[in-house]
Structure 1
Amino acid sequence: MSITINGELSNLEKKSLDQLVFRIPADDGLTPCSMPALHKHWAPRANFVTYVSLLTQYGRVKSGVELEEWQYNSNCFCKDMNFLLNCRHHEFWSYMVFQKTALAAVVSFLQRSTPFYLNVWSQIVQQQNIIEIYEQILELVLRIVCRLITNRESDEAWLSVEHQRELIYKNYLISVPMLFDLLMAVGDADPQNTAILRRIFDSLLRIEPNYKQDILAALSFFRTAFRSIQTQAENEGFEGAGGGDLDENAETPYDDVALYTLDCAYSLSVLLAVCPEVQALCAEIKLGQSIAQFYDNTIPFLYKNIFLINEAATSLGWLNMSRLEYLKAFRSIAYSFVEAAMANPVDSMPNAEQLIGLLTECLSEQTFVNDYGRLYPVELDVDILKQTCKNLDGFKASFIVQGYQQESKSTVDKNNPKPNKKTKNSSKLNNKNNQTLNKDTNISSSTAVAQERDIDLEVTSVLDVLPHLGTGFVRRILSRYNNGEEAIAAILENNLPPDLVNADQTEVYIPPDPQDKTYQQTGVKHFNVYDGDAYDVMTQDNPKCIIKQGKGMPNAPRDAAQMLDDKSDLAELKSRYQAYTLVSEGESSNDEYNDEYDDSYEALLESETRVVKSKQLKAGLANVEDVSDEESEDDQETAEDKSNLDAQTDRNKRLNFCENPEDIRARYEARRQAKWGNRNHGGNFDNNSKTRDVVGAPKGQGQDKDTLRNRDKKEKNKSSRANHNRKMGAAFKRSKGMMG
């Protein structure tokens, strides 16, 4: 509990802000009451002045009455910021947490501040007081942000890191958009500014690590911004598309797009410079590849559209500045892998492979490759990786170095110095960027002339836009221009050469007949497109080819598969094995195999009748011994005899190459007699057979043992026969063709 000394609140127990409670007088002035140190009671003021921007649209400084109004507003804003800084520790945090207008005033300046990269101070160089007021406001806001990330001001004014993390992150006292606005307000033009921003980001990430994921989500937004810029650059000037109506102060319809491109470039490059922890996150979202693609496709297209409208537009300088910043941002991403490999040489292979993969994927963007190779030599990074990582693939490394050196070395303008020195003067930077851009324009034009043109493809592209033209007329126009885009522009603007103004626009192109050229060269008239070439056997005595017949090349050595597949030796053995196919015919019929008996036996099986079966059953039952009282024991003995017989039969089968038919018939007959001998369907085949009685004596007179045993056996086996298994009976009928 704190006490009041001479009207001032003090924290004698040195408690943290979340545990600190003050004793203040009650409303009646008699009994004191307790009040937490972090409470809206300590933030009674609700009105704070919001900051008004010094610039108008498109980066111009206000003048006249607007400038005087800004000066008055800025003075009031300075007083409010001084008020927040002069508040005691618990009052400052109470204002920032409970009084939203105080935080909104700070955010208003960051959102409307003058970007550090715009050279606007030269417009008001005669009004030094305006510059001093702005610099004072920037310093006050920066001090407020630093106070938010400071948890201990003195032994009596402090709060725990956990409480500070909760207050900042959950109450959005510092957000990721606010950090990006802070980057644009402070910048990295001065080393002291860079050091301050680096300390702010390091402290913030240490207090709350979740800011790293929020910054990663913000980096992913840059890819969306690139697509939006490309869409606006392609659709600007058409009704209902682009940035809207053209402002009277705008030099071209693309000024706002160019300024947005520059703002994204500086935001990205400064962020990667002051927060190295973010560089590793760019590889997860492939931001480097997106930068290269945007640099190669959108920026040249945007520059060309602005240049065609106004050659002296200020937005051209903005695009030049953005090019350097995008290259700088890509350099920060690429060099982060080199630094990681140097910091951990033992496990440097993954970082080396990531750098090689990044540079390889960007090789298709030729404009980007040329500029990056001249500004940041790739061979130096590769040499460092080779020294650090011994297992680096030398072929891939050499391929990357050659790819980034090939164009840059062949197109370097020796008369102009390389733009590799930094400068603080914005005018010098703009001049250097203009020189670089002009040099790149000459490079691209000379490279385009050197490359072989595909006239058919260009004709198709022109006809897609102007399908009413003839192919012959389009070819004649393309012969006067470097590409199809220039030809389309000349046609639409009616800016054709004088000899083509009155030409027939429906002229059709008839290609020359290749047969005529072949006939002139060879003197032989054929009707094949390949006649007269180096492989024509009709016109060439020694054609540049091998004439082969059949499989394989002539006199070529045989491989292993052909040698294993060779069956020429089998032809020599064919005559020997043909002798085994002949069977000699003897004089008597005993020398031949007689299978008449087997055929008759098969015919007997097919023509058996119920009478024959009954006779055989009677003959078999006459030789079967009487069935004992215990039928289960007889069945067991019969099964043993049967198994012994089958075992003996199996042994005989294995010993004999061809089993004797007599043995087969005897075994079949014995098995059949044993089957029918154990069955009795109520009929008396002879006097010795027993009838299985299941009816027994009348009820109440008792039943003998045989009747009970027969009843039990019938009960157990009734489901396999008769009417108890209709499915089996139906299947049997269908198999015999009885479908009734």
Structure 2
Amino acid sequence: MVNKKLTNNNTKDYNPEKLALGDLKLSLADSKGVRRQIPALDEHWIAREKPFGTYICMLSSYGSVKSDAALEEWQHVATGCLQDFEFLLHLRHHEFWSYMVHFESAMAAIVTFLQRANPYYRQDSNDNNATTNSNGNALSNAKMLYSQLLNHVIRLIMRLITEKESATEWIAPEHHKSLLYNNYLISVPLLCDLVIAVGDADAQNACVLQTIFDTVLRVQPEYIKDLQEGLAFYESAFLSMQIQVENEGCEGAGGGALLDPAADTPYDDVVLFALDCAYTLRLLLQLCPQLLLACEQLKLVQSIANFYDMTVPMLYRNIYMINANASSLRWLNEARQQFLNVVRTITHAQLEAARGQQLVELLQECLSSQTFVIDYQRQYPVEHDIAVLLKTCPKIKNYKVDFVIAGYQKTLSRCTSGVLADEQLSNANTDDEEEGGAQGAAMAVTTLSTVATIETGGSSGRNKRDIDLEVSAVLDVLPDLGMGFIRRLLTRYDNSEQAIAAILDDNLPPDLMHMDRQEVFIPADPQDKLQRQMGVRHYNVHDGDRYDVLTQDNPQCIIKQGKGLPGEARNAEQLLDDKRDIGQLKQRYQQYALVEETPDEAGTGAEYDDEYDDSYEALNDGQAPPISLLRAKLQQQATAANSAYEAQDASEDEQDDDESDEEQQKQAKRGPADFCENPEVTRARYQQRQQAKYGGQRQHQQGDVTGAPKGQGQSQQTTRNRGQKEAHKSSRANHNRKAGAAFKRSKGMLS
């Protein structure tokens, strides 16, 4: 067995041929003097049996620095990690790579530290806490120890991406990129953790990060594809945050029970995750401009705008209702500013590349997200970019450009800053003046519109809702609830359906979960409100309502002055002299007046003529066609036939009148005891009347169409009468309403 103590034999020129690490083999002798050739990259060179230590975070939950015993424990663990990192840095070239490739805990120690490192954007708050803490010296030493750890980790990563350390210690490029990529020594999650741990708050740190990214992408171009695929993670991250905010009752999610007492609200985890995503994305685009094209293909800006418009206002509202002084409100504003910077980076790159069509379409697609449009227009006015764009791309369609500019400006003009937004801004400015740091100045964001939208636009939207109607809808489904509890619940939801669903699913916000569900609602006294407005107190029960003429400019009632109502009679004499109802009846019956088809005064023909061709209306009167002689003749014949029928009907009516008189006389002769007439007498009288009228047997008249009984043949006159009746049947019965109307007028009846 090879003696591992021989690994520490340091020869000055152990690689005289200056071979690469993959081709180098070292000759070693064991205790018996037997020499062996061992590859330079091999597990043989791992002399350590104890695994490397695991780093723990210096910060406790939600950014507060550990203290007392927890801080002492961190210092002990951090000191062990620092010794491990120093051990790796002092290894020779082939030993270092052997540990990185074949000793799993070596790389795990670096990854764990980056995952649990302090975010660079929280350094100022940590310093502030350190100065106010009684154990300031311990925190100062802890900060110095953390700086050494971060420095050693950066040096280890720089050594990993270095191909040639000296003339005898180097790796072939193909072998180097294979080691980094296939053994996951450098990965996308590691790079994301690195940018958050180092940051760009200091120019030197930004330069170090840029060097690392440039070297990694040069050594192994495959990392560009991995980073592009990693950007697709943001779409699922936005969806995850939205689900956590909407599921308020889910344990450990947005509005669940507080799993950590150090959290101000249940939404602190979501806000910190959004803040980390925003900073990581901004730094990745800054350090790797090759990702800008992938952002356009993945429509990352549209995803940010959608998250900005849907999730951020809801998140702010929920946090504010639970704790108005929560630190997560400041973190949320900081995350919003970083998302705006990300969008600005993408649009500025398109502007510099003269990609005008893509820029205009991108801004146009974001118009539907009102909250994002307002904030972006305040930070980076669109009209300035468009003005620069038109100089480089004059062929862009002007109507699209005008539409985008008008949309952004109109959306901003309709938004007014809220009081709470101004307070939030003033608090942020005060904290920045006290801290005096560059990061604090970055947190002092100009008045962003989500706060204003929620506190002003949101309240106006709630005023437009009919809360009483929604309360009634909830009571119809859940009558055991109190109106006070329902009103509190409706302030947290957009409509009654969502409130009912939350109650039935037992998915209420934490602050409403244990409230009294039979809370009574006591409405505000309208007299108190009226007194505050006018300074005069009234004692009428109707004061301040919609019928009050003293407070309403247009009361929903009729103002009566003097006797009677407006437009009605003042006394009985005017009421009796009012003949308007008779005039209305007269006008009503005039609508049924007969319209005669007689030639008009101009002699151009009948007013209602079925055969009249209205195409001749534009011609002169002399050019109008004459009345058809045949039609005039048919009209005369019809008039004559109607007159004959009217005379016959008149004679029949006279006979019927005479018969009715006889009936009345006979009825008068009946005694008062006769309740009704005997049917036999009625039938006999009818037969006598028929005998007197037709003389025993009905004689055929000239116009009779009945003819002889069936089987005895019909006369020629009967057949001719039937044809005449068939030809002129439209002039009688129900087909000729004019004749019927004329008959009724002759009898004194009104139609």
Query: What is the aligned partner in structure 1 of residue 385 from structure 2?
Result: 381
Query: What is the aligned partner in structure 1 of residue 18 from structure 2?
Result: 14
1:43–1:463 Cα change, 3 Å: farther
Q: Per the alignment, in what secondary structure is the counterpart of residue 49 of structure 1?
A: coil
Provide Cα deviations, 1:686-734, integer angstroms capped at 9, x if missing partner. xxxxxxxxxxxxxxxxxxxxxxxxxxxxxxxxxxxxxxxxxxxxxxxxx
1:254–1:465 Cα change, 3 Å: farther
2:212 to 173, 196, 200: 200
TM superposition shift of 1:380: 2.3
Q: Does 1:219 align with 2:225?
A: no
1:436 to 447, 453, 474: 447
Query: What is the aligned partner in structure 2 of residue 358 from structure 1?
Result: 362
Query: What is the aligned partner in structure 1 of residue 192 from structure 2?
Result: 180
Q: Distance in 1 between matches of 2:348 and 2:54?
A: 41
1:178–1:388 Cα change, 3 Å: same
Q: Distance in 2 between matches of 1:460 and 1:213?
A: 56
What is the TM-score when the length of structure 1 is the normalising length?
0.60
2:276 to 232, 250, 263: 263
1:298-447 equivalent positions in 2, closer than 5 A: 298-341=311-354, 351-409=355-413, 411=415, 424-430=437-443, 432-433=444-445, 436-437=447-448, 440-442=450-452, 445-447=455-457
Provide Cα deviations, 1:532-583, integer angstroms capped at 9, x if missing partner. xxxxxxxxxxxxxxxxxxxxxx99xxxxxxxxxxxxxxxxxxxxxxxxxxxx
1:103 to 78, 88, 107: 107
Contact 1:463–1:469 (8 Å) recurs in 2: no
Q: Distance in 1 between matches of 2:86 and 2:371?
A: 50
Q: Distance in 1 between matches of 2:520 and 2:277?
A: 39
1:13–1:463 Cα change, 3 Å: farther
1:509-528 equivalent positions in 2, closer than 5 A: none
Provide Cα deviations, 1:25-72, integer angstroms capped at 9, x if missing partner. 1x3431311111111112221421221110111111111111111112
Q: Distance in 2 between matches of 1:464 and 1:133?
A: 62
TM superposition shift of 1:465: 5.0
1:253 to 246, 263, 266: 266
Query: What is the aligned partner in structure 2 of residue 31 from structure 1?
Result: 34
Q: Distance in 1 between matches of 2:521 and 2:190?
A: 52
1:464–1:143 Cα change, 3 Å: farther
Q: Distance in 1 between matches of 2:77 and 2:384?
A: 52
1:245–1:138 Cα change, 3 Å: same
Seq. identity, %: 42
Q: Distance in 2 between matches of 1:190 and 1:34?
A: 48
1:144 to 156, 164, 167: 156
TM superposition shift of 1:246: 3.1
1:33–1:97 Cα change, 3 Å: same
Query: What is the aligned partner in structure 2 of residue 293 from structure 1?
Result: 306
Q: Distance in 2 between matches of 1:278 and 1:429?
A: 25
1:226–1:464 Cα change, 3 Å: farther
1:239–1:83 Cα change, 3 Å: closer
Q: Distance in 1 between matches of 2:60 and 2:460?
A: 46
> Comparing 360-369 with 394-403, which one deviates more in the overlay?
394-403
Provide Cα deviations, 1:274-293, integer angstroms capped at 9, x if missing partner. 21111211111111111111
TM superposition shift of 1:453: 8.0
What is the TM-score when the length of structure 2 is the normalising length?
0.59
TM superposition shift of 1:133: 0.7
1:469–1:52 Cα change, 3 Å: closer
Q: Distance in 2 between matches of 1:455 and 1:244?
A: 30
Contact 1:189–1:424 (8 Å) recurs in 2: no
Contact 2:350–2:359 (8 Å) recurs in 1: yes
1:94 to 98, 107, 111: 98
1:40 to 38, 43, 61: 43
TM superposition shift of 1:6: 6.8
1:4–1:80 Cα change, 3 Å: closer
Provide Cα deviations, 1:181-209, integer angstroms capped at 9, x if missing partner. 11110112122222221221222122222
Structure 2 letter corresponding to 1:161: P
Contact 1:20–1:37 (8 Å) recurs in 2: yes
Q: Per the alignment, in what secondary structure is the counterpart of residue 353 of structure 2?
A: helix
Greater length-normalized contact order (CA 8 Å, ≥ 6 residues apart):
2
TM superposition shift of 1:485: 4.3
Contact 1:22–1:35 (8 Å) recurs in 2: yes
Contact 1:184–1:266 (8 Å) recurs in 2: yes
Q: Distance in 2 between matches of 1:263 and 1:496?
A: 45
Q: Distance in 2 between matches of 1:181 and 1:448?
A: 38
Provide Cα deviations, 1:379-426, integer angstroms capped at 9, x if missing partner. 222222212223211111121122222233565769989999998444
Structure 1 letter corresponding to 2:266: P
Structure 1 letter corresponding to 2:86: N
1:96–1:497 Cα change, 3 Å: same
Q: Per the alignment, in what secondary structure is the counterpart of residue 14 of structure 1?
A: coil
Q: Distance in 1 between matches of 2:493 and 2:102?
A: 64
Structure 1 letter corresponding to 2:233: F
TM superposition shift of 1:446: 4.5
1:73 to 73, 77, 81: 77
Contact 1:292–1:365 (8 Å) recurs in 2: yes
Structure 2 letter corresponding to 1:19: D
Structure 2 letter corresponding to 1:35: I
Q: Per the alignment, in what secondary structure is the counterpart of residue 229 of structure 2?
A: helix
TM superposition shift of 1:452: 12
Query: What is the aligned partner in structure 1 of residue 54 from structure 2?
Result: 50
Query: What is the aligned partner in structure 1 of residue 143 from structure 2?
Result: 131
1:234 to 226, 246, 256: 246
Supply the RMSD in Å over aligned alpha carbons: 4.2
1:328–1:8 Cα change, 3 Å: same
Q: Distance in 1 between matches of 2:206 and 2:216?
A: 15
TM superposition shift of 1:484: 7.6
1:189–1:283 Cα change, 3 Å: same
1:465–1:188 Cα change, 3 Å: farther
1:482–1:19 Cα change, 3 Å: closer
1:463–1:380 Cα change, 3 Å: farther
1:207–1:88 Cα change, 3 Å: same
Q: Per the alignment, in what secondary structure is the counterpart of residue 136 of structure 1?
A: helix
1:15–1:497 Cα change, 3 Å: same
Q: Does 1:162 align with 2:165?
A: no
Q: Distance in 1 between matches of 2:270 and 2:231?
A: 19
Structure 2 runs not aligned, ≥5 long: 1-6, 500-511, 527-557, 559-565, 568-579, 582-613, 616-751
Q: Distance in 2 between matches of 1:281 and 1:424?
A: 34
Contact 2:231–2:295 (8 Å) recurs in 1: yes
Structure 1 letter corresponding to 2:339: Y
